[in-house]
A and B are shown apart, each in its own frame.
Chain A
């Protein structure tokens, strides 16, 4: 088969960061080509260059034997490049059909679009009720809408950015079958991911990026998952510390929590109950948007519960206490979003440390901040958790995602809390920092802390937890022992 897209020596830098450095990539007709790399390796920049969002500083691209220099995404679409983004760009309050119509150029008649839709749905098994409002669709269905919108443009090349991050296992399988069918018919697919087993299963060829450069391009068949991981990370991943067994007795006892979300598009929690033992790491898995954020906020006290709901912590009902009263009882909280929730990017690290210590009188006398004490504590966190930064006065925005997350996690666990409640502790963090954070969590668990981890990353949960439960649609499954839970269990629980 011939090359449909040739990328030759493309470079792009943003102020002082070299995002892409002399990247070459050849995409053949009918090929499913993986673009693999950690966060920040340069995958997104390369894709944006192909899709006409970013212009390269150097290098050239050839599409179908012709020079290809798209100025805008529209130009890229006209040349036959289709893109399905990780974050959907759909109008939530409009119907599926309206959303599809909005994306089309020219004056296509509604009838002819419906006709083509019919064909696409039968051909590729993309069934969806076009009269439904997008807001009530599941993530998998929304992705179908994006894919249909893209297919209607007759693309020659389809780019998918982390498409499985919002899908449950059975939806993933369907997506893969669909992509294989596309490739059989001669479409080239550029598949962006950092999930190695998916790439091994689906893709013919992989191009691995690290620090903006191509590390290797190879056939996926001839390489193992471990080798791929090594190439992607660049160094051997630290071995995990061994997790010790939890003790008897409950630290946390959740009895039938129900929470009605005031946001009509949000998820409500329905009769959630579970217990966590002393020294246990308890994982809550599930696809995003199934009630994780709500559960986090209920546990932290950021949203209140109605009477009759009980959160028993060491046999005390803490459900009516505010977040700082809960912190006073040696519970710490690490929410998912570093930007504007667990940290504020325009504040210094010292100020970010104060954010969760406003209840602690060591930091204040008569309300006046003891800056020396706060600076000392901040330096302690920086040193102990190896946060790369200038000093305690550095703005949070000057730190990389991984370093800021190390700081946010370190800020809490340096207190040796009795209970840690965290959500996506390694979200958007490079593999090196992620494994450090996992080790921190295991370490404090071994020395007696109890940890509740809410995460979409099942691999993460499997590698650090004693028990795992799945949350789906605001309902929580029974907990599974980590050694007993099978992919089938997960798929079934996620689809409930």
Chain B
């Protein structure tokens, strides 16, 4: 029988090798998958993983898709380091999009450069508000934050639908369930003319740098580190366990809310029921693939964005179902967890008796 034994020491190089091994294993898996369904695996992998990187359009779309993933994952990584499991970033993202979008619509058709910053603040507030619900129940009644935050996601999505079908519906929209298109003052500036790449990506890059600095040099990062190792030591250092629960949910809620408003004021440009497309869940994979490290998350966000775009390309060019994106992401997370387990544990064979 196989048994797992904890290793005494963990190889420091595993920080880089684990994600690379996981990516390699996932590629081998999809290679075999393509063979089995009778597609040319080399061509398929080229179309999904290489071709999007060869055109300006592909690259700009990569940036568009990576932006929300990176921002949400940066926020989640704080809680994951500290041992607080916010699985409901999708809901906080949706509320951020709704609050921020509603703010922009409220000022239609007023113009002013203050409209976007204001809507950002309101969206961040919305994300925090939604995150505070599981945090409060966890701190007050010791409920499981995974369940509460996850279930609130569906409440948030239905709330968005309710608003878009009702009060926020475009009065000139022939009764379609969508809001008015945002006016210019409510739309993010584009970085490269002719594409959808907007300045949200620069915000993501800035936030990664800021997070890196805070984690490394600030008291805040120190608390996060201690909390992830031992709650007793955190309390001994002068913070309560609930402090970390609230802080984690405030940060991940704020980041998810910000990602939400960036998404609606950027590529989408209006409120529709289909704004939540799973970025909040994929960001969990991004956070772990990036080893909870801000720059790791930046690159992991780009890679996962590639699977979205590549999946679409495979659909068009090869007639593959769109599910290929989900399959790859699932296999990637699975391989990542397995590879991580093998760096912490070693397998030994024990004879059965």
Q: Are B219 and A344 in contact (CB under 8 A)?
A: no
Chain A residues lying within 8 Å of B217, measured Cβ to Cβ, are 368-369, 371
Q: Within 8 Å of chain B (Cβ to Cβ): is A340?
A: yes
* B53 contacts chain A at the CB level, 8 A cutoff: no
A324 and B233: CB pair below 8 A? no
Complex contacts, A368 vs chain B, CB 8 Å: 217-219
Known: A340-B232, A358-B237, A367-B220. 15 other contacts (CB 8 A): A302-B235, A302-B236, A323-B238, A327-B238, A337-B232, A340-B229, A340-B230, A340-B233, A341-B230, A341-B232, A347-B226, A347-B229, A355-B236, A364-B219, A371-B217
* Cα-based distance from A333 to B237 in the complex (angstroms): 11
Contact A344 B238 (CB under 8 A): no
Question: Contact between A356 and B237 (Cβ–Cβ < 8 Å)?
Answer: yes
Q: B218–A369 contact, CB under 8 A?
A: yes
Given A367-B218, A367-B220, A368-B217, A358 contacting B230 (CB threshold 8 A): no
Shortest Cβ gap from A90 to chain B (Å)? 24
Are A369 and B222 interface neighbours, CB within 8 A? yes
Q: What A residues does B233 contact at CB under 8 A?
A: 340-344, 355
Contact (Cβ within 8 A) B238 A358: yes
Q: List 16 A-B residue pairs with CB atoms under 8 Å apart, sorted by A's residue number.
A: A300-B236, A302-B235, A322-B238, A327-B238, A335-B236, A340-B229, A341-B230, A342-B233, A355-B233, A356-B236, A359-B238, A364-B219, A367-B219, A368-B218, A368-B219, A371-B217
Please measure, in the bound complex, the distance between the C-alpha atom of A335 and the C-alpha atom of B8, giving whole angstroms: 26
- Name which residue of chain B comes closest to A357, CB basis: B237
CB distance from B292 to the nearest CB of A (A): 14
Whole-angstrom distance between the Cβ of B248 and the nearest chain A Cβ: 18
Residues of B within 8 A of A300 (CB): 236
Q: Does chain B have a CB within 8 A of A354?
A: yes
> Cβ of A18: which chain B residues have Cβ within 8 Å of it?
none
Q: Which residues of B contact A341 (CB under 8 A)?
A: 230, 232-233, 236
In the docked arrangement, what's the CA distance between A323 and B235, Å?
A: 9
Chain A residues within 8 Å of B238, by CB: 322-324, 327, 358-359
A300 to B232 alpha-carbon distance, docked (Å): 13
Chain A hits for B230, CB < 8 A = 340-341, 344
Q: Size range of the interface on A?
A: 20 to 34
Flag if A347 contacts B225 (CB, 8 Å).
yes
Contacts of B222 in A (CB 8 A): 351, 354, 358, 369
Tell me the smallest distance from the CB of B114 to a CB of chain A, in Å.
28
Overall SS of chain A's interface: loop
Residues of A close to B237: CB separation below 8 A: 355-356, 358
Asked if A358 meets B236 with Cβ closer than 8 Å, knowing A344-B229, A344-B230, the reply is no
Q: Which residues of A contact B236 (CB under 8 A)?
A: 300, 302, 323, 333, 335, 341-342, 355-356
Against B, the Cβ 8 Å flags (1 = close, 0 = not) of A337-377 are 10011111111000100111011000010011101000000
Residues of A within 8 A of B219 (CB): 358, 364, 367-369
For B190-233 the 0/1 string (1 means CB < 8 A from A) is 00000000000000000000000000011110100110011011
Q: How many B residues touch A, CB cutoff 8 Å?
A: 16
Residue of B218, B219, B229, B236 with highest tally of chain A CB at under 10 A:
B236
Which residues of B does A touch, CB under 8 Å? 8, 217-220, 222, 225-226, 229-230, 232-233, 235-238
Contact with B along A185-218 (1 / 0, CB 8 A): 0000000000000000000000000000000000
Within the complex, the shortest CB–CB distance from B340 to chain A, in Å, comes to 16
A112 interface residue (CB < 8 Å to B):
no
Enumerate chain B residues within 8 angstroms of A355, measured Cβ to Cβ: 226, 233, 236-237
Complex Cα distance, B232 from A342, in Å, reads 8
- A residues less than 8 Å from B226 (CB atoms): 344, 347, 355
Query: A371 to chain B: which residues have CB within 8 Å?
Result: 217
A15 CB–B CB distance under 8 Å: yes
Nearest-CB residue, chain A, relative to B233: A344
A344 neighbours in B (Cβ, 8 Å) = 226, 229-230, 233
B229 nearest CB neighbor, chain A only: A344
Count chain A CB atoms within 10 A of each CB in B218, B219, B229, B238 and give the residue with the most: B238
Taking the nearest CB of chain A, how far is it from the CB of B208, in angstroms?
Answer: 18
- Chain B residue numbers with a CB within 8 Å of A333 are 236
Chain B nearest Cβ from A328, distance in angstroms: 10
Residues of chain A from 307 to 341 with CB closer than 8 A to chain B in the complex: 322-324, 327, 333, 335, 337, 340-341
Residue on A nearest B230 in the bound complex, by CB: A340
Q: How far is the CB of B288 from chain A (nearest CB, A)?
A: 19
Cα distance A335–B219 in the bound complex, in angstroms: 23
Contacts of B229 in A (CB 8 A): 340, 344-347
Query: With A and B bound together, what is the CA distance between A408 and B145 in angstroms?
Result: 34
| Complex alpha-carbon distance, A335 and B233, angstroms | 10
A343 neighbours in B (Cβ, 8 Å) = 233
Q: B8 to chain A: which residues have CB within 8 Å?
A: 15
Taking CB atoms, residues of chain A closer than 8 Å to B232 are 337, 340-341
Most chain A C-beta atoms within 10 Å of own C-beta, residue among B219, B222, B229, B233: B233
Closest residue of chain A to B9 (Cβ to Cβ) is A15
Closest to A75 in B: B353
CB within 8 Å of B: which A287-302 residues = 300, 302
Across the A-B interface, the 4 shortest Cβ-Cβ residue pairs: A340-B230, A324-B238, A341-B232, A367-B219
Give Cα distance in the complex from A345 to B235, angstroms: 16
